[in-house]
Copies of this chain bind each other. A is one copy, B any other.
Amino acid sequence: MIQNPIRPTLSLDAPGKRHGHLKLPYSRNDSAWGAVMIPITVIVGKPGPTALLTGANHGDEYEGPIALQALAHEIEPEDVTGRLIIVPYMNTPAFRAGTRVSPLDQVNLNRAFPGAPGGSVTQKIAHYFNDTLVPMADLVVDFHSGGKTLDFVPFACAHYLDDATQQAACVAAVTAFNAPYTLMLREIDAVGMYDTAVEEQGKTFVTTELGGGGTATARSAGIAHKGIRNVLKHAGILPGAPEIAPTVMLDMPDDDCYHTAPEAGLIEPMADLGETVTQGQPLARIWPLDRSGAAPAVVHAQRDGVVVARHFPGLVQLGDTLAVLAVEAG
């Protein structure tokens, strides 16, 4: 029976506020007795529920890390009814490298669950969350954005679940997050996702996509700041009531929402995020890379909808997802 070698350098239980690391020994060519050090803050207040809050599951997504660093810095134990376990840079190696997947093993943390205690670095991180931290939690919030290669309209998201009570709890928390857009999603390929691992343990789960391109703005960071505090207020962990503004409810009814690049080339977007398009309208033109003056490939909307996601870099490969449409839910 292999034990997960990750050890926290602080108490996860004692009252008060502490900053430390999850220490994962990592022997490598440039440090035989080195370690991966994942920053963690624990704030324990009055008795109450536990919230596990994570950013940088993918290393190039920034709204979560910003909001969680601010929370870890600003919240005091006396503000808390319950416990906050805050891990702003869940996949620290990827976050330090500014990449989606870990530079240490090329593994996508969000497809590595439930993880393996004797596996690669990313598999060990997944296993530690799955077996140690998630079981401690009542509520789990995992921040995502589009990263360097995707851009999204800002939304919080809940999944369709088999357990109606759990789904209702998730929807309530996501609604409390109150991003400008709110989405109900049925993941097609949920194997290995942190979302799935958390939901299968029966926890209330909130996830987001708050922007993208490998950057954050004052506006997108503001959505994250407000959203996480709203969720914690909703859960009774922070005092006060959530601040609620209007949100647009979205749904992705079918595969026609997804538009794929039919050729490699230079993308000229013809509709921007948040724009409403009708079936047949050009979404983008793709210009060739090796010559000038030739006709572009044109990608037309396969259905009516709102542009909610797009390929971010200026160049695209054949087969990349170019744009995603959603429809406003009834």
Contacts and interface: CB of A to CB of B under 8 A. Distances in A.
Given A39-B291, A69-B266, 19 more contacts: A5-B189, A21-B291, A21-B318, A27-B108, A29-B149, A30-B149, A31-B149, A32-B100, A33-B149, A33-B150, A34-B319, A35-B319, A37-B319, A39-B290, A73-B294, A73-B295, A118-B191, A216-B268, A290-B318
A197 interface: no
Given A25-B189, A69-B292, A215 B213 contact: yes
Nearest to A324: B33
29 contacts: A2-B191, A5-B189, A17-B293, A27-B100, A27-B101, A29-B148, A30-B148, A32-B58, A32-B100, A32-B150, A33-B149, A33-B321, A34-B149, A34-B320, A39-B290, A41-B293, A60-B314, A62-B266, A69-B293, A86-B292, A87-B292, A88-B287, A98-B313, A98-B314, A215-B313, A216-B269, A218-B269, A221-B268, A290-B318
Interface residues of A, number: 92
A69 B260 CA distance: 22
A147 interface: yes
Listed residue (A146, A215, A216, A314) with the most chain B CB atoms within 10 angstroms of its CB: A314
Contacts of A25: 189
B88 A269 contact: no
Contact of A294 (B19, B58, B264): B19
A294 B18 CA distance: 11
A132 interface: no
A317 B34 CA distance: 8
Contacts of A295: 73
A161 interface: no
A62 B98 contact: no
Contacts of A21: 291, 318-319
Nearest to A191: B2
A306 interface: no
Interface in A121-151: 146-151
A116 interface: no
B28 A73 contact: no
Interface of A: 2, 5, 17, 19, 21, 23, 25, 27-37, 39-41, 58, 60, 62, 65-66, 68-70, 72-73, 86-89, 95-96, 98-101, 108, 111, 118, 146-151, 189, 191-192, 213-219, 221, 260, 263-264, 266-272, 275, 287, 289-296, 311-321
Given A72-B293, A108-B27, A320-B31, A314 B37 contact: no
Listed residue (A40, A148, A275) with the most chain B CB atoms within 10 angstroms of its CB: A148
A172 B95 CA distance: 47
Contacts of A147: 32
A290 B268 contact: no
A121 to B, nearest CB: 11
A39 B62 CA distance: 29
Nearest to A309: B33
Nearest to A290: B318
